[in-house]
Every structure is written in structure tokens, then in C-alpha cells.
Amino acid sequence: MKTLEEMMAMAQNVQAELLKAQDGLDKLEVEGVSGGGLVKVKASAKGRIISLAIDDTLMVPSEKQMLEDLIVAAFNDARMKADAVSTDEMARMTEGFPLPPGFKLPF
């Protein structure tokens, strides 16, 4: 069995690795799309929105509601992809750590 000091050192290492992983997530980019690519949202894996691109053909006042719906769909797609990338990265970072079953990081 490990000593308390060894366990504390391991916990500090885990915390340092998680902080590095969190910083890295802001550098990973995902792209959410809707309307067959007419609306695109770029976001970091942490969920920070980087850019929004709207095809010129959608800039018609009578289609305002459709454009708004496409923007929301693109944002939601980007968020879903950001969550997936974040989960994958965190799983990869904690792969070698002896965590109890069902224990999720970060807290």
C-alpha cells in the first residue's frame, strides 16, 4: 500500500496534468455547421466561440427566422462537438491514473 505522502504527490501530479489539459482544450477547435454548411460556428473545446460565418444567400429579411434557427443549430452542433473533444481529451489525460470506477474528472 502506498504511503500518504506518495498518495498526496500523486494527487498533485493529477491536478497539474488536469490544469495542463484544461489549458490545452482552449487551443483545440471544433466547427459546428447547419443548413448544409451555410452557417458555421468555430469554438474551442472549452466552449469559447471563436467565429461565426453566414453564407450571403441567407441574408434575406424574409428568411430571418430560418437564419436564426440555423445559427442556434450551428452553435448547438459546435457545443456538442466541443463536449465530445473535451471528454476524449480528459479521458486520455487520466488514462494511467488509478481512479475508482465511475469517478469523473474534472470534479
Residue 56 forms part of a structural domain: yes
Is 10 among the domain residues?
A: no
Number of domains in the chain: 1
Whichever domain contains 56, its CATH number is 3.30.1310.10
SS3 for the chain is CCCHHHHHHHHHHHHHHHHHHHHHHCCCEEEEEEHHHCEEEEEECCCCEEEEEECHHHCCHHHHHHHHHHHHHHHHHHHHHHHHHHHHHHHHHCCCCCCCCCCCCCC
pTM of the model: 0.66
Per-residue pLDDT for 106 more than 60? no
Query: Tens of pLDDT along 13-57?
Result: 878 877 777 778 888 899 999 999 999 999 988 888 999 999 999
Domain that holds residue 51: 28-93
- Residue 23 belongs to some domain of the structure: no
